[in-house]
Amino acid sequence: MTARGQNIGQQRQGQQKQDDQKQMDLVRDRFTRTAAAFADFALVDRVAEAEHLLNLIAPSGNERALDVACGPGTLARTFAKHVAWIAGLDLTPAMLERARKDAIANHLDNFRPLRGNALAMPFPDATFDIVVTSYSIHHLPDAVAAIREIARILKPGGKFGLLDMVVPEDASRAAACNHIEWVRDPSHTRALPLSEFESLLNSCGLRILARGTEDHPRSLDVWMRTAGWKRGDAVYEDVRRLLEASIPGDTAGFRPKILAPPSPKEIAAASDARPDMELLHTAAFLVAQKQQ
Amino acid sequence: MAVSQDLLDILVCPVCKTPVKLTGDKQGLKCSTCRRVYPVRDDIPVMLVDEARVDPS
């Protein structure tokens, strides 16, 4: 390589490092700022999804497991009762603190919290029998690097369980969907369509054993609240405007609709009488096995 | 509650992948290759490069 080529390479690496650091700061800030609201949501509303993933993986009870970007312990608290022990790795201290408190309250003494970066995990190759992650890939700067890192630390024959939102296969809808997600939450990088997840797993030596999707209706007001925004906030209004504009032809794939208007009594009581909206998120479940 | 033995048995430096060892005061996890010391805060290992210090010895 020429000296100039090397310089450019180093500059690129330097830029990538800065971008990754910036993204990590965004994620940490977001999940610190909204720690309580997000944890309440994740630990209540995502229990059924965690149980579904557990059933697909069907642990025998002796496994060493890891929940990557565990947040408040969304998957770890469900898996803990069914494996030897489970580590929970996350960037945000407030999330790990909540996860640990929740584990103690639920008498789960085999939860092992630690702070770390999903793209450079502090584990040797072939360490875990089970690795799971939920709603994390769309917060990471590099999905390919993340899956490669997960494949690295899985034992051959070990299972990877992925739960995440997916965007429509249609590229224009996918871009519009990701844009709205990013306006709501700047720590959102990019959610993938299901087919891209599948080829990514395959390319990292993870053979898919089970796949499925599930639609989850969300109230716009509640969804915005878990990201820290309320009616009247500029971000709330921007997202609402974008969602309303996407209704004809469902151009962002959220299948949004405006809910029934509030009753006259509610209108009289509220300062903002606009009805709430509903949107649909599609969750994907993928279970894959690392090739022997 | 201290850092669990389960984690101590497997943790490596995220940079050079050398196994880390608990420091004498149990407040850090040290990599013998790159000499980074990762802090342990409230019994939680902080395995982040930007939070580590480099030990001179």
Nearest CB neighbour to A112, from listed B4, B14, B20: B4
- ipTM strictly over 0.95? yes
B34: contact with A, CB 8 A cutoff: no
Domains of chain A: 13-168+187-215+281-290 (3.40.50.150), 219-279 (no CATH)
The residue among B15, B48, B51 with the most chain A CBs within 10 A of its CB, best to mutate, is B48
The span from the CA of A175 to the CA of A252, in Å, is 8
Contact A116 B17 (CB under 8 A): no
**Can you say whether the dihedral through the CA atoms of A112, A116, A118, A120 is positive or negative?**
negative
Question: Helix, strand or coil for residue B57?
Answer: coil
Q: Are A33 and A41 in contact (CB under 8 A)?
A: no
For A112, the closest of B7, B14, B17 (CB atoms) is: B7
Share of chain A above pLDDT 90, in %: 78
- B19, burial (CB in 10 Å: exposed 0-12, middle 13-18, buried 19+): middle
Per residue in A239-265, pLDDT (tens digit) is: 999 999 999 999 999 999 999 887 787
Residue A49: CB partners within 8 Å, gap ≥ 6?
A134, A163, A214, A283, A285
Cα–Cα distance for residue pair A83/A158, rounded to 1 Å: 13
H or E stretch covering B7: helix B5-10
Domains of chain B (ranges; CATH) run 5-54 (2.20.25.10)
Mean pLDDT of chain A: 92
B47 and A96 within 8 Å at the Cβ level: the answer is no
d(CA A209, CA A56): 9
| A122 closest CB neighbour out of B11, B44, B50 | B11
pLDDT in tens, A110-150: 999 999 999 999 999 999 999 999 999 999 999 999 999 99
Collect all residues of chain A within an 8 Å Cβ-Cβ radius of residue B20: 122
- pLDDT band at residue A2 using 50, 70 and 90 as cut-offs: very low
pLDDT tens readout for residues B6-38: 999 999 999 999 999 999 999 999 999 999 999
Model pTM score: 0.89
pLDDT interval class at A23 (50, 70, 90): confident
Residue A80 has pLDDT above 90, yes or no: yes
Name every chain A residue with its beta carbon within 8 A of the beta carbon of B41. 93
Q: Which of B6, B41, B47 sits opposite A116 (nearest CB)?
A: B47
CA atoms in the 13 A half-sphere facing the CB of A257: 6
CB within 8 Å of B14: residues ≥ 6 apart: A116, A117, A120, A121, A122, B47, B48, B49
Rounded Cα distance between A219 and A224, Å, is 8
* A19/A142 Cα distance (integer angstroms): 11
DSSP for residue B12: B
- For residue B42, give how far its alpha carbon lies from the nearest alpha carbon of chain A (Å): 9
Cα A268 to its chain centre, rounded Å, is: 38
Determine whether the interchain pair A96/B44 forms a contact, defined as Cβ–Cβ distance below 8 Å.
Answer: yes
Q: Tell me the average pLDDT across A35-45.
A: 79
Q: How far is A191 from chain B (nearest CA, A)?
A: 25
Kindly determine whether residue B47 and residue A91, on different chains, have CB atoms separated by under 8 Å: no
A106 CB-near residues (< 8 Å, 6+ apart) = A77
